[in-house]
A and B are shown apart, each in its own frame.
Chain A
Amino acid sequence: GENVEQHPSTLSVQEGDSAVIKCTYSDSASNYFPWYKQELGKRPQLIIDIRSNVGEKKDQRIAVTLNKTAKHFSLHITETQPEDSAVYFCAAGLGSASKIIFGSGTRLSIRP
């Protein structure tokens, strides 16, 4: 079955700098890759997703890239702000009739 590996497990960056979180997946048939943000004590919330027919997607300060050949995808956050501090989860799914498998998470801390 699908397995999603995520790293680093913790990341600390200076406010205003960029943060990059990387994930790999095992099932080459996976074609949907969402990213969720979970603040302390709250539920995970979708921040961006990408489907396998595109290589990159941007939404303001957030971008996701996908390399299907290498089975890698990454989250890029630019101009980080204190409110970006949270745990971020990558995930992978297979089509519209599929479970979504999550990575183990990255705790991002933004230093003032």
Chain B
Amino acid sequence: DTGVSQDPRHKITKRGQNVTFRCDPISEHNRLYWYRQTLGQGPEFLTYFQNEAQLEKSRLLSDRFSAERPKGSFSTLEIQRTEQGDSAMYLCASSHGQGAGANVLTFGAGSRLTVL
């Protein structure tokens, strides 16, 4: 376990299609976050989990976006009926839930989505 893994690294899809991204966090981290980053901007918070519980979801996130972490390990982020405005880098991060490492995010390499 060398870090946070994301798959796929790149996804090109046509408008209206559904896409799903997977994130495997660092195994001892019980907190998992999803962010979206567009060119020249900072990571924008989407949602986060403590174990399998989704604790918060951004108000900016439309109903087309859904995330799961069914067993408290890996997570999936699904975007339904993709739009061109969904084109971005989707970053996953994980952290410890408490102690000195709480809030210290380790990011994955990201999944880049291009919607044509």
- Give the B-binding residues of A (Cβ under 8 A): 1, 6, 32, 34, 36, 42-46, 49, 89, 91, 93, 96-105
Contacts and interface: CB of A to CB of B under 8 A. Distances in A.
Contact of A43 (B33, B45, B109): B109
B26 to A, nearest CB: 13
Contacts of A97: 50, 55, 97
A100 B105 contact: yes
Nearest to B110: A43
27 contacts: A6-B42, A32-B103, A36-B105, A42-B109, A43-B107, A43-B108, A44-B43, A44-B91, A45-B107, A46-B105, A46-B106, A91-B42, A93-B103, A96-B97, A96-B103, A97-B97, A98-B103, A99-B33, A99-B45, A99-B56, A100-B33, A100-B45, A101-B45, A102-B43, A102-B44, A103-B42, A104-B42
Interface of B: 33, 35, 40-45, 48, 50, 55-56, 59, 91, 97-99, 102-110
A15 to B, nearest CB: 24
A45 B59 CA distance: 26
Given A101-B45, A103-B42, 9 more contacts: A34-B105, A43-B91, A43-B108, A43-B109, A44-B43, A44-B91, A99-B48, A104-B42, A105-B41
Contacts of B105: 34, 36, 44, 46, 100
Nearest to A106: B42
Nearest to B105: A100
A1 B57 CA distance: 12
Question: Which of A1, A36, A49, A97 has the most chain B CB within a 10 Å cutoff?
Answer: A97
Contacts of B55: 97
Contacts of A42: 109
Nearest to A101: B45
Contacts of A96: 97-99, 102-103
A44 B107 contact: yes
Question: 5 closest pairs, A vs B, by CB?
Answer: A96-B102, A102-B42, A43-B107, A102-B43, A104-B42
